[in-house]
């Protein structure tokens, strides 16, 4: 860079000197402009640039033992990786090598960690990049970068005296989307074609055997040519962890943190249904931050319990609603809690009117077990919980507010799920061809029926609602245990 600046300065000085001396410098300036334009175009098209967007890494300092909650994915991945480790046996049996492994699943479930652990497991060179790094507006650049990526893996493997290399491509749905969708520009298709060609050229007797590991949460967008045998031979599903998996992940992320004796990680795991590994790592970190704010030397259970709310809803807000608004929020959340407790005793975990994120208050439920299949009774119970906040406002305060808009939206979606699942009065139907007026009538009927049940129950419980609201306005947050104690004397 310094030499370029010196050369540019000398050139400008010579042009100025020639102009002062009376020479015609127009041809020189013209040639300079043309040379500069050509140099800029060449650089922007990647002609002189080498592929440096994929950071080379030594063997990652991570193993499968450092990844929790993905036992099935790890087992399936190890089985595929053993083909790389047992090369001699593969050659004897005439087995075609596995060229690609596709990791699919929601964000934050540990797909990148699995790829790094795979490189360590096979003692391979590890090269990571993102699908977006290959997409350029200039024709041919993406394909060139794909070629350079594979060549870089081979060169690095030989340089480090490794006989295998692992190329990890994150967000491969950007690079490997279905061809023909971008008719205005074929650069996407050319880049994908080059990736397919490179994967076809991988052989079991190469000096450096290359395995391509890719990750995506949109497998439905991938081109079918990527998914056929000989390209990505294995698809490994990396799902959200179950309760036992969440417990393993929490233990991993808390092993370097001082935990108090009152911490029950199993209870925290139970309350975090739907959390990914990334959410759980953030939960452990936020719990430590809360402990530091209070000057505690150990992380207590209450810190992790509050961290759940922070990860789910966001940081506490400084907004201060009026007393009238706080009372309405309290009535609304108590209504949710009472119906939730009626549906399933012990389901209320926390009740608060402290603003977080977009919510002025909220009621958090505790799932008893990880549930993936739901009956109509369960879905109707969820609809009743969603409607209860607005109904409680109407019974206690005499009218409703806009705070229930999201609740109503979820209630309608849940009623629509009953129809899609064939559990409504219509039986098994195709929602796409269902007349809109008929769908509206059935959805409205389901919601009206549940709203009637909620009104009848909450009207009998209006005394309990007022009592719990008064406590909530003073303390701002009460636990599920406190809520159930107050409910005991008001059962009907």
300 close to 262: Cβ distance less than 8 angstroms:
yes
Q: Which member of 136, 198, 271, 333 is catalytic?
A: 333
- Site of tokens 């391979």: 124
The answer to whether residues 99 and 202 touch, using CB atoms and an 8 Å cutoff, is yes
* Residue 462, token pair as written in the block: 């209006």
What is the C-alpha to C-alpha distance for residues 70 and 193, in angstroms, rounded to an integer?
Answer: 33
Q: Active-site residue 333, yes or no?
A: yes
Residue 429: burial class (beta carbons within 10 Å; 0-12, 13-18, 19+)? middle
- Per the listing, tokens 């540019």 go with 8
E strand or H helix at 75, and its extent? helix 71-85
Burial of 31 (0-12, 13-18, 19+ CB in 10 A): exposed
Q: Rounded to whole angstroms, what are the CA distances from 376 to 257, 272, 394, 424? A: 43, 24, 27, 8
Report the 10 Å Cβ neighbour count for 10: 10
H/E stretch holding 378 = helix 376-397
What residues contact residue 407 under an 8 Å CB cut-off, 6+ apart? 386, 387, 389, 390
CB 323 within 8 Å of CB 381: no
CB 377 within 8 A of CB 423: no
d(CA 409, CA 184): 38
Q: Are 259 and 296 in contact (CB under 8 A)?
A: no
Give the position of tokens 């806009």: 402
Catalytic residues: 333
């Amino acid at each position: 860079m310094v030499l370029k600046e010196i050369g540019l300065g000398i050139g400008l000085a010579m042009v100025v000197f020639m102009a002062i001396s009376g020479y015609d410098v127009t041809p020189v300036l013209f040639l300079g402009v043309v040379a500069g334009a050509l140099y800029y175009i060449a650089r922007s098209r990647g002609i002189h640039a080498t592929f440096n967007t994929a950071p080379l890494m030594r063997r990652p300092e991570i193993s499968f033992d450092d990844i929790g909650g993905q036992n099935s994915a790890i087992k399936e991945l190890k089985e595929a990786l053993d083909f790389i480790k047992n090369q001699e046996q593969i050659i004897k049996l005439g087995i075609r090598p596995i060229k690609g492994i596709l990791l699919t699943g929601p964000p934050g479930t540990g797909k990148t960690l699995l790829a790094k652990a795979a490189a360590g497991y096979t003692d391979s060179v590890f090269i990571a990049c993102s699908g977006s790094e290959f997409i350029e507006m200039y024709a041919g650049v993406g394909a060139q970068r794909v070629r350079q990526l594979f060549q870089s893996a081979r060169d690095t493997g030989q340089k480090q005296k490794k006989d295998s290399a692992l190329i990890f491509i994150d967000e491969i749905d950007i690079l490997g989307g279905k061809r023909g969708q971008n008719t205005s520009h074929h650069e996407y298709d050319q880049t994908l074609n080059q990736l397919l060609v490179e994967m076809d050229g991988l052989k079991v007797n190469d000096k450096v055997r290359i395995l391509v590991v890719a990750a995506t949460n949109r497998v439905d967008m991938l081109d079918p040519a990527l998914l056929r045998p000989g390209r990505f031979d294995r698809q490994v599903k990396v799902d959200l962890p179950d309760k036992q998996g969440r417990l393993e992940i929490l233990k991993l992320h808390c092993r370097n943190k001082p935990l108090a004796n009152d911490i029950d990680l199993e209870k925290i795991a139970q309350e975090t249904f739907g959390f990914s590994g990334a959410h759980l790592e953030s939960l452990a970190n936020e719990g430590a931050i809360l402990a530091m704010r209070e000057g505690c030397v150990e992380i207590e259970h209450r810190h992790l319990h509050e961290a759940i709310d922070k990860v789910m809803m966001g940081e506490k807000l400084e907004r201060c609603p009026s007393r009238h608004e706080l009372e309405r929020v309290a009535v609304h959340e108590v209504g949710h809690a009472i119906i939730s407790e009626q549906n399933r005793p012990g389901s209320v975990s926390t009740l608060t009117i402290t603003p977080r994120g977009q919510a002025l208050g909220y009621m958090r439920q505790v799932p008893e077990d990880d549930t993936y299949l739901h009956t109509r009774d369960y879905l109707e119970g969820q609809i009743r919980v969603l409607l209860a906040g607005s109904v409680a406002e109407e019974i206690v305060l005499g009218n409703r507010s806009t705070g229930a808009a999201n609740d109503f939206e979820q209630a309608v979606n849940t009623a629509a799920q009953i129809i899609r699942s064939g559990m409504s009065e219509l039986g098994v139907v195709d929602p796409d061809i269902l007349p809109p007026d008929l769908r509206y009538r059935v959805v409205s009927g389901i919601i009206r029926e549940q709203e009637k049940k909620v009104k009848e129950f909450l009207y009998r419980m209006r005394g309990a609602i007022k009592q719990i609201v008064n406590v909530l306005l003073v303390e701002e947050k009460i636990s599920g245990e406190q809520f159930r104690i107050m409910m005991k004397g008001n059962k009907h």
